Structure 1
Amino acid sequence: MKQLDVCLTPDLLHLHKLNNSIVVVADIFRATSCMVTGLAYGIKSITPVASVEECKFLQDKGFIAAAERDAQKVEGFDLDNSPFSYMDGRLIGSQVAMTTTNGTLSIAKAKASAVKVMVGAFLNLGALANYLRSEPYDVLVLCAGWKGRPNLEDTLFAGALAEALKEHFMLLEDGTLMAQRLYNQSRDNLLASVSNSSHVRRLQRLGIQKDISYCLQTDMYDVVPILRGSTLVAMN
């Protein structure tokens, strides 16, 4: 039977074997929620890069560029890290380059060894789970966390995906069981569950409560982003 595992922070990724695994990267507040939203709203592709310099290089090549550090937009770039910025009709059909504090770095770390790299959020939870059920590979949920530390919202998402897949995957490791149990205790009110978390406090200081509420909505979109080469596209 296939296995599902959870890595609570990219700093622990070296402890996991990826050679037979699909890695699902989750950065709920807000990178992977932006990616799902953008592709759902008609953006052609999103190229995640680890550094601001790489993002600037692609911007100079004609990409729409989004850069975030410490939850704020980097000066000189086109987009911030709010999913509402990705709903702009002028972005339909565009190629976007993106760098964020945690999410795009996690993708860069995962793609070296994984069978496939995909992007997950509460927004596409059901569609992602349906796809993973059909695949023959193990799954590792890589929580982007915050600068090497675990965070609550990504762990809750990992638990939600584990709960959705528990009939099709073995949940063996304690990190997976912890995430699943935490989600089941919190699922009836995710917003309340994260209300005192470090990342929510960080975002609230910036006055973007609406992003927090939006990113915790479940099954808004059917889009399943997958990394093709170095670029995320929506699976057909």
Structure 2
Amino acid sequence: MSRTIEVCLTPALLHLYNIENSIVVVIDILRATSSITYGIDNGAEAIIPVAHVEDCLAYADKGFLLAAERNGEVVNGYDFGNSPFSYTKEKVAGKTIVLTTTNGTKALHMAQERAHKVVIGSFLNLTSLCDWLKTQDKDILLLCAGWKDNFNLEDTLFAGAVVNVLRKDFTHSDDACVVAEDMYLMAKNDLRTYLHKSSHSHRLAALNIEEDVKFCLKTDLCKAIPVLEGQRLISLT
């Protein structure tokens, strides 16, 4: 079974990839896909990603939790944003959350338009995700959400981690895989220090949420693999 793995470094490049028969792994390490993974692992019934802040309001009378983030901050009037510490078992177990973020939810919707299947990746579920991907007979595209359509370090590092784990099971078909894996191999022994170079890390530090960054770099805290089914992210495993 010959399968390929590719890395798309930003959603602005997604149109260049044929993904109709591929599994797309959406990556937004700081912080959307980390928080989604943590929330689903902590028993959230579903997370509904929406494109715009105003879209959350359509769900206001359904009893769902409303989460909205823009530029790293919680939007006024919403229950919370995309800090992983808002997605604890005590807060989300059995609940449905409607979520909009600056980068991650946009990437999810773009992937869903053409992909065979869309799943969520983060350091929190790295091993669980890779173990599952090994069992699939589809090509893989790792889609980095980036920052407002620009390349970023943290998503590319995670893509490199996945490429490294799956290198014996999939054929690398683009240079972005090589770059991502090389970056990860340079940084893996101290991801946090490496990410001090990252622009988004500095944005979050300026908002006094450095603990979020540390948490999002923890490996294998979660078993859950969120999968997009219709309009809802639910647990695959």
Bin of the TM-score, shorter chain as denominator length? over 0.9
What amino acid does structure 2 have at the position aligned with 1:162? V
2:47 and 2:99 in contact (8 A); partners too: yes
Q: For residues 71-97 of structure 1, give each alpha carbon's deviation from its aligned partner in whole angstroms, at most 9, with x where no partner exists.
A: 000111111211001115142100110
2:62 and 2:75 map into 1 onto residues whose CA distance is 18
Q: After TM superposition, which residue ranges in structure 1, 4 or more long, deviate above 3 angstroms?
A: none
Higher mean Cα deviation, 53-62 or 110-119? 53-62
Aligned partners of 1:201 and 1:2: how far apart in 2? Answer: 37
Please name the residue that 2:9 is paired with. Answer: 8
Which residue of structure 2 aligns with residue 223 of structure 1?
224
User: Is it true that 1:53 corresponds to 2:54 in the alignment?
Assistant: yes
Q: Which residue of 2 aligns with 1:74?
A: 75
RMSD: 0.9
Task: Report the TM-score, using the length of structure 1 for normalisation.
Answer: 0.98
The CA distance in 2 between the partners of 1:18 and 1:214, in whole Å, is: 31
Q: Give me the whole-angstrom Cα distance separating, in 2, the residues matched to 1:141 and 1:69.
A: 23
What is the CA-CA distance between 1:54 and the residue it aligns to?
A: 1.2
1:98 counterpart letter in structure 2: L
Tell me, in whole angstroms, the C-alpha distance in 1 between the residues paired with 2:200 and 2:91. Answer: 30
Give unpaired runs (5+ residues) of structure 2.
none
Question: Which residue of structure 1 aligns with residue 19 of structure 2?
Answer: 18
Contact 2:40 2:46 in 1 (8 A): yes
Tell me, which stretches of 5 or more residues in structure 1 are unaligned? none
Q: 1:45 to 1:20 in 2, by over 3 A?
A: same
The alignment of Structure 1 onto Structure 2 pairs a total of residues equal to: 236
2:178 aligned with 1:177: yes
1:62 is aligned to: 63
The letter for the 1-side match of 2:126 is L
CA–CA distance in 2 between the matches of 1:136 and 1:58?
37
**SS across alignment from 1:220:** coil
Q: Deviations over 1:135-163 (max 9, x none)?
A: 00000000000001010000000000000
Maintained 8 Å contact 1:59/1:97: no
Contact 2:125–2:224 under 8 Å retained in 1: yes
Whether the aligned pair in 1 keeps the contact of 2:43 and 2:89 (CA below 8 Å) is no
How does 1:1-236 map onto structure 2 within 5 Å? 1-236=2-237
Is the CA contact (8 Å cut-off) linking 1:6 and 1:158 kept in structure 2?
yes
Distance 1:102 1:13 in 2: 14
**Please, what TM-score do these two structures have when normalized by structure 2?**
0.98
Q: Matches of 1:52 and 1:22 in 2, distance apart?
A: 28
Cα distance in 2 between the residues matched to 1:69 and 1:90: 21
**3-state SS in 2 of match to 1:233:** strand
Q: How much does 1:66 deviate?
A: 0.4
Report if aligned partners of 1:36, 1:124 keep a CA contact under 8 Å in 2: yes
Identity %, equivalent residues = 44
| Deviates further, 215-224 or 55-64 | 55-64
